[in-house]
C-alpha cells in the first residue's frame, strides 16, 4: 500500500475574535439577565477568545458549508487550478446546516471550481473530523485516488443564542460543589466556537515544504458499554435512552428546548478521561509506541479543566508526555468540535517550528457516547 501525506493545512475562522466580555452581546442574555455561571465556567475552561458565524443581532454571517468551502479554497490559494486534481472530498461535522442533503455535498456545491468527484460526510461529533481524515487516508492508501481533501468544522453559535434557553434554570451550586457538574445546556454556551479546517492529502510528498506522513489512525467506540452523554435534537430519559425530536409534539420541542445541545456532565466527568486512556494503553502496547517517541502531543480538550486529569492518568499508565511537548490552542480559538484538531494542527504545521523526523500524536475524544480517535504523524 502507498504512503499518505498531509501536504497542506488551512483554516477559516469567521469574523473577528470574540473576547469573554463580549460573548453575551452575541449570544444574548437569558431572561434579560447576565449569566451567573459564565464567569465560573470560563475560569475553569480558560478560553479567552472564540469565533462566531453570527453578528450581534444573531443573524448568520456564514453557513457551515460556506466556512468549509473557504477553508478548502485556502488550500489552493497559490495555485487555484490544482483544486481540479482533487478526487475525493471528505467532510466531518456535528452541526450540518440541514439534515438533508449531506454536509459534504453542500460544501461541494460551494466549490464549482472542483470537478464532479466522490463526496462523503461522516457523522458524529468531535470524532467526525477524524473519521473524515481516515476515509481520505484509506482512499489514497489503497489507490482509489491520488489527492483528497478532508475537513472538520462547526457552526453552533446560532444554536447557543439566548432564545433557545429562556426556560432554563441556573444551577450555580452544582458548579461550586464539583466543576464537572454543570447545566445540561447552559454551560455549553461558554465552551463552543465556530470555524473550519482543511487538510490536503496526497500519495506523494511535496519536496519544497514540510509534509506529515500519516503512520496510522486508530478509532474506538464505547457505546456498547456506555450510555449517551451529549446529545441534540433529543431528550434523555430516566433509563438512559434518548427520545428523538421526531417523537415530540411541536409545542413540546420548543418548551423543552429539544433542539438545544445538552450534556450529562456528571457522566462526562466520570468517563471521558479514563476511557480515552484505556484506548491509549491498548494502542501503545499493540503498536510498540513509547511516550519518548512523541515530540508533539495534540489532545483535543473541551476545557483546560481536563488537562491535568489527562496528564495524571497518562503518567499512571506509564505514558506520561512532558507538558512542554503539548500543543493546545483552545484558549485562542475556543472549542470547535470536529474542527478543533484541524485548527490545532494548522497552527503547528504553519508555525515554522516542526522539524523533519519528529512525531506528532493526535488525540480526539468525543463525549457524545464516548468515541476516541488517535493518529501518529511523522514530519518529513
- The number of folded domains in the chain is 1
What was the pLDDT predicted at 188? Answer: 80
Chain-centroid distance of CA 108 in Å reads 20
Nearest to 199 by CA among 95, 328, 354, 348: 348
Q: How many CA atoms lie within 13 A of 7 on its CB side?
A: 19
The torsion angles phi and psi of 86, rounded to 5 degrees, stand at -75, 130
Question: Domain containing 93 — which CATH number?
Answer: 3.40.47.10
What was the pLDDT predicted at 256? Answer: 79
> DSSP state, 60?
B
Residue 73's alpha-carbon distances to 110, 281, 289, in angstroms, are 10, 38, 36
Domain containing 105 equals 1-380
Residue 288's alpha-carbon distances to 2, 49, 215, in angstroms, are 22, 38, 13
Q: pLDDT tens across 4-51, in order?
A: 999 999 999 999 999 999 999 999 987 778 887 888 889 999 999 999
Contact of 133 with 148, CB cutoff 8 Å:
no
> DSSP state, 54?
B
Give CA–CA dist 185/265, Å, rounded: 10
What was the pLDDT predicted at 32? Answer: 79
Stretches in the chain below the pLDDT threshold 70: 165-186
What the block records as the C-alpha cell of 154 is 462547526
Answer yes or no: pTM beyond 0.75. Answer: yes
Residue 13's alpha-carbon distances to 63, 157, 184, 313, 342, in angstroms, are 12, 13, 27, 33, 12
List, in sequence order, every beta strand (DSSP E) within 3-126. Answer: 5-12, 18-19, 49-50, 88-93, 118-120
- Cβ-based neighbour number of residue 246 at 10 Å: 8
What was the pLDDT predicted at 35? Answer: 82
Contact of 368 with 338, CB cutoff 8 Å:
no
Is the CA virtual torsion 193, 194, 200, 206 positive or negative? Answer: negative
> DSSP state, 337?
G
Give CA–CA dist 369/32, Å, rounded: 34
> DSSP state, 200?
E
Nearest to 368 by CA among 258, 226, 187: 226
Amino acid at each position: 500500500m502507498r504512503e499518505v501525506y498531509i501536504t497542506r493545512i488551512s483554516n477559516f475562522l469567521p469574523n473577528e475574535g470574540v473576547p469573554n466580555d463580549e460573548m453575551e452581546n452575541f449570544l444574548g442574555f437569558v431572561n434579560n439577565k447576565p449569566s451567573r455561571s459564565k464567569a465560573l465556567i470560563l475560569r475553569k475552561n480558560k478560553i479567552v477568545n472564540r469565533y462566531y458565524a453570527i453578528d450581534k443581532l444573531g443573524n448568520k454571517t456564514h453557513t457551515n458549508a460556506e466556512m468549509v468551502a473557504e477553508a478548502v479554497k485556502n488550500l489552493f490559494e497559490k495555485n487555484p487550478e490544482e483544486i481540479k486534481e482533487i478526487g475525493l472530498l471528505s467532510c466531518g461535522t456535528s452541526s450540518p446546516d440541514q439534515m438533508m442533503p449531506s454536509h459534504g455535498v453542500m460544501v461541494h456545491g460551494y466549490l464549482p471550481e472542483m470537478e464532479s468527484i466522490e463526496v462523503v460526510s461522516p457523522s458524529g461529533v468531535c470524532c467526525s473530523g477524524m473519521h473524515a481524515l481516515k476515509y481520505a487516508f484509506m482512499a489514497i492508501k489503497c489507490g482509489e485516488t491520488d489527492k483528497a481533501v478532508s475537513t472538520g468544522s462547526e457552526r453552533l453559535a446560532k444554536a447557543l443564542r439566548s432564545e433557545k434557553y429562556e426556560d432554563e434554570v441556573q444551577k450555580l451550586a452544582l458548579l461550586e460543589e464539583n466543576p464537572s457538574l454543570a447545566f445540561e445546556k447552559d454551560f455549553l454556551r461558554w465552551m463552543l466556537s465556530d470555524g473550519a479546517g482543511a487538510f490536503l492529502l496526497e500519495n506523494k510528498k511535496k519536496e519544497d515544504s514540510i509534509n506529515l506522513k500519516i503512520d496510522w489512525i486508530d478509532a474506538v467506540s464505547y457505546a456498547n458499554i456506555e450510555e449517551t452523554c451529549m446529545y441534540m435534537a433529543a431528550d434523555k430519559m430516566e433509563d438512559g435512552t434518548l427520545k428523538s425530536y421526531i417523537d415530540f409534539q411541536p409545542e413540546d420541542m420548543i418548551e423543552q428546548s429539544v433542539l438545544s445541545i445538552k450534556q450529562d456532565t456528571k457522566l462526562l466527568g466520570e468517563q471521558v478521561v479514563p476511557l480515552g486512556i484505556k484506548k491509549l494503553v491498548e494502542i501503545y502496547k499493540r503498536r510498540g509506541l513509547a511516550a519518548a517517541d512523541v515530540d508533539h502531543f495534540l489532545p483535543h480538550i473541551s476545557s483546560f479543566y481536563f488537562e491535568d486529569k489527562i496528564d495524571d492518568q497518562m503518567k499512571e499508565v506509564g505514558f506520561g508526555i512532558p507538558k512542554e511537548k503539548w500543543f493546545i490552542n483552545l484558549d485562542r480559538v475556543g472549542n470547535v468540535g470536529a474542527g478543533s484538531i484541524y485548527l490545532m494542527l494548522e497552527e503547528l504545521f504553519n508555525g515554522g517550528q516542526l522539524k523533519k523526523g519528529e512525531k506528532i500524536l493526535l488525540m480526539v475524544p468525543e463525549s457524545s457516547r464516548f468515541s476516541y480517535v488517535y493518529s501518529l504523524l511523522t514530519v518529513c
